[in-house]
Amino acid sequence: MSKPTQAAPAFQIIKDYLLKEIQTGTWKEGDAIPSEAMLAEQFSVSRMTVNRAVRELTSEQILNRIQGSGTYVAQQKYQATLVEIKSIAEEIRSRGHIHRSELHELSDNVASELLAQQFQVMPGHRLFHSVIVHFENDVAIQVEDRWINSAVTPDYLEQDFSRMTPNEYLVAVAPLQGVDYSIEAVLPTKTVAEMLHISSKEACLVLHRKTRSQGKIATIVTMWHPGKRYQFAGSF
């Protein structure tokens, strides 16, 4: 005979309710949530019980409490791991969110002197260039500006990047041998700001990454992220 399922603690029920209202869009970023007194009355619990639910969501950066004003839905910061190279689509799906992308450029080019030096090839070497904007729940969170060595991935231009990300394709055809990266906070160009739907005065977190495969420099990518919507995280 199976044991009866135990009811969740009252604070967890309130916490789940608040999360659901935020995730379904009933309350959006910056919206005030009901006061603790109103929630206590709604759920027939003590203020202390409500306070625990609100306090935990605040520590998880879901809510933002402002002394003397109220509690508001915080601006969500999407997270990316640095230690393991993952597809941004995989990152987004792991959070239970929806990924989509917009392809802004997919072109065949010859390497300039600067790019040739960076890729350690001769000037005029064939390179591919793609610019893609990635969205999480229809919020633009990354502009991916990628240069690709044609000697490593000759079929790059033939891929449908509405069905897969460049990273997912590259992992399959060009196993990673090494990576160098750096991160900086800078103001976006006008074009990047327009693609991210932000002000050109809003700082971005920019990841510069160079990957190696088959004994060659495979890709050089610059990824722009709105600073207010994004954070990097990693562990060893």
Q: What are the tokens at 84?
A: 């393991």
In the sheet that holds 139-149, the strands lie side by side as 99-110, 126-136, 139-149, 216-226, 204-213, 178-186
How many angstroms separate the CA atoms of 77 and 134, rounded?
15
Same domain, 15 and 128: no
Predicted local confidence at residue 231, as pLDDT:
63
**Does residue 131 sit in the same domain as residue 148?**
yes
Q: Enter the tokens of residue 182.
A: 């750096």
Taking the CA atoms of residue 206, residue 78, residue 164 and residue 222 in that order, the dihedral angle to the nearest 10 degrees is 0
Partnered with residue 55 across adjacent β-strands are none
Instruction: Say whether both 143 and 191 belong to one domain.
Output: yes
Same domain, 149 and 184: yes
Residue 155 in this model has a pLDDT that exceeds 60: yes
CA-to-CA distance for 134 and 51, rounded, in angstroms?
Answer: 36
Decide if 78 contacts 230 (C-beta within 8 A): yes
Number of compact structural domains in the chain = 2
Contacts of residue 98, defined as CB under 8 A and 6 or more positions apart, other chains included, come to 92, 136, 137, 138
Task: Please give the structure tokens belonging to residue 80.
Answer: 């990316």
Out of 37, 52, 73, a domain closes at 73
| Cβ atoms < 10 Å from Cβ of 207 | 20
Position 3 in a domain: no
Report d(CA 91, CA 86) in Å as an integer: 7
Q: Per-residue pLDDT tens for 65-123?
A: 887 788 998 876 555 544 446 678 888 888 889 999 999 999 999 999 999 999 999 99
Q: Are residues 100 and 190 in the same domain?
A: yes
pLDDT confidence of residue 83: 43
Is the pTM above the cut of 0.85? no
Shared domain check, 55 and 101: no
Q: Which amino acid is at 197?
A: H
Q: What is the CATH number of the domain that holds 197?
A: 3.40.1410.10
Considering the domain architecture, whether residues 135 and 162 belong to the same structural domain is answered as yes
Angle, alpha carbons 113-118-121 (nearest 5°)? 70
pLDDT in tens, 211-225: 988 889 999 999 999
Q: Which domain range does residue 123 map to?
A: 78-233
> Do 28 and 82 lie in a common domain?
no
Are 84 and 69 within one domain? no
User: pLDDT tens digits, residue range 160-211?
Assistant: 998 889 988 888 888 777 888 888 899 999 999 999 999 999 999 999 999 9
Domain limit, last residue, from 21, 56, 73:
73
Q: Which CATH number fits the domain that encloses residue 67?
A: 1.10.10.10
Q: Check: CB of residue 73 under 8 Å from CB of residue 62.
A: yes
- The one-letter amino acid at 31: D
* Positive or negative: CA dihedral 113, 155, 218, 185: positive
- Cβ pair 209, 201 in contact under 8 A: no
How wide is the angle at C-alpha 210 spanned by C-alphas 206 and 173, nearest 5°? Answer: 120
